[in-house]
């Protein structure tokens, strides 16, 4: 039985992850951390017969709850502390939080590698999104002009999305530069042409009604190739979260990207 705790358990994603874990025969939800619902119990939040209180801090959680895997869906400025303390206690971590500073990720990844503790992070847990990124990576071998449009709900805290950044990294393979002969025209409005990763322009849209969507557009002579993925509900992320939760205990360090677990 995999004993699971959820960081950000009171948020939309935290609640959905918790409810999904509760339905699994090989998992047990044993606690959570969230200062906004601290003091409430699992029984209060999920109507189950478990009076374990939600912890206000990860330090308190580590003292009071025995668990195997912590799942974090919080914010980029909050998650690093939770991840660090959990890894130091040699507990496995699955992270879906985006917007974490690259230097923090490097530091935390090295910590996990040194301690040989499972630390898995995915910019996107949707299986369809992983395939979209793989198809874009393949197309990028043959087409040299590309842009990315990512569209999310207006409560998303970071831009561009972690999925868009990951897609651009995979497409450029760390070095390929796109759109070399594109005219760098004058922007009448700052950032009208979007941000750039190795020449790939990324455009972020934030509107109510969207969940998580992305288009990768490739341009060639007389043709356009569009690769698009749409997550229509947060449920689309749950199979990937469960896969990572089941496999993270077999990892001995830091792994990024759901494609590495498939």
SS3 string of 49-95?
CCCCECECCHHHHHHHCCCCEEEECCCCCCHHHHHHHHHHCCCEEEE
Q: What are phi and psi of 253, to 5 degrees?
A: 160, -155
- The CATH code of the domain that includes 159 is 3.30.360.10
The verdict on whether 190 is a catalytic residue reads no
pTM above 0.75, yes or no: yes
Confidence at residue 207, expressed as pLDDT on a 0 to 100 scale: 98
- Average pLDDT estimate for 87-99: 96
Is 239 found in the same domain as 227? no
Distance from the first to the final alpha carbon of the chain: 22
Q: Angle at CA 170, nearest 5°, toward 169 and 172?
A: 65
Is 147 found in the same domain as 100? no
Q: Distance between CA atoms of 97 and 163, rounded to whole angstroms?
A: 11
Handedness of CA 122, 171, 214, 128 (dihedral sign): negative
Is 172 found in the same domain as 217? yes
Is 117 found in the same domain as 6? yes
Q: Distance between CA atoms of 195 and 187, rounded to whole angstroms?
A: 12
pLDDT band at 190 (very low <50, low <70, confident <90, very high): confident
Per the prediction, the chain carries an average pLDDT of: 95
- Average pLDDT estimate for 97-108: 94
Confidence at residue 19, expressed as pLDDT on a 0 to 100 scale: 97
Q: What is the pLDDT of residues 65-76, one digit of tens each?
A: 999 999 999 999
Is 243 found in the same domain as 115? yes
Is 218 found in the same domain as 136? yes
Is 109 found in the same domain as 8? yes
Q: What is the pLDDT of residues 9-45, one digit of tens each?
A: 999 999 999 999 999 999 999 999 999 999 899 999 9
Q: Distance between CA atoms of 1 and 244, rounded to whole angstroms?
A: 15
Is 22 found in the same domain as 58? yes
The answer to whether 129 and 229 have CB atoms below 8 angstroms apart is: yes
On the question of pLDDT at 171 being above 80, the answer is yes
pLDDT band at 183 (very low <50, low <70, confident <90, very high): confident
Q: What are phi and psi of 192, to 5 degrees?
A: -60, -30
- Average pLDDT estimate for 95-119: 96
Is 96 found in the same domain as 163? no
Exactly one of 40, 81, 153, 156 is catalytic; name it.
Answer: 156
On the question of pLDDT at 184 being above 80, the answer is no
The residue written with tokens 């002579």 in the block is 221
- The CATH code of the domain that includes 37 is 3.40.50.720
Q: What percent of the chain has pLDDT over 90?
A: 87
Is 248 found in the same domain as 158? no
The tally of domains found in the chain comes to 2
Confidence at residue 60, expressed as pLDDT on a 0 to 100 scale: 97
Q: Is 2 helix (H, G, I), strand (E, B) or coil?
A: strand
Is 17 found in the same domain as 140? no
The verdict on whether 47 is a catalytic residue reads no
Q: What are phi and psi of 250, to 5 degrees?
A: -90, 0
Confidence at residue 4, expressed as pLDDT on a 0 to 100 scale: 98
Exactly one of 152, 203, 213, 229 is catalytic; name it.
Answer: 152
DSSP letter (8 states) at residue 182: S
Is 117 found in the same domain as 14? yes
Look up the domain containing 38 and give its range. Answer: 2-121+235-260
């Amino acid at each position: 039985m995999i004993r699971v705790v959820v960081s950000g358990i009171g948020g939309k994603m935290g609640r959905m992850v918790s409810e999904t874990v509760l339905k699994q025969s090989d998992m047990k939800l044993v606690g959570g951390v969230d200062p906004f619902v601290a003091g409430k119990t699992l029984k209060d939040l999920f109507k189950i017969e478990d009076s374990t209180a939600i912890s206000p801090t990860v330090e308190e959680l580590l003292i009071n709850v025995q668990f195997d895997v912590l799942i974090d869906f919080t914010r980029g400025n909050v998650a690093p502390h939770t991840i660090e303390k959990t890894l130091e206690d040699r507990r496995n971590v699955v992270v879906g939080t985006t917007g974490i500073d690259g230097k923090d990720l490097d530091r935390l990844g090295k910590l996990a590698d040194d301690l040989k503790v499972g630390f898995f992070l995915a910019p996107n847990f949707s299986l369809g999104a992983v395939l979209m990124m793989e198809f874009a990576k393949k197309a990028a071998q043959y087409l040299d002009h590309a842009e990315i449009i990512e569209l999310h709900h207006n409560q998303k805290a970071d831009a561009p999305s972690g999925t868009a950044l990951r897609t651009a990294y995979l497409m450029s393979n760390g070095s390929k530069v796109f759109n070399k002969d594109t005219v760098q025209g004058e922007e009448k409005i700052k950032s009208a042409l979007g941000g750039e990763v190795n020449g790939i322009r990324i455009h972020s849209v934030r509107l109510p009604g969207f969940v998580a969507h992305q288009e990768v557009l490739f341009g060639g002579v007389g043709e356009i190739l569009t690769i698009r993925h749409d997550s229509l509900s947060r449920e689309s992320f749950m199979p990937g979260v469960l896969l990572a939760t089941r496999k993270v205990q077999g990892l001995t360090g830091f792994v990024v990207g759901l494609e590495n677990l498939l």
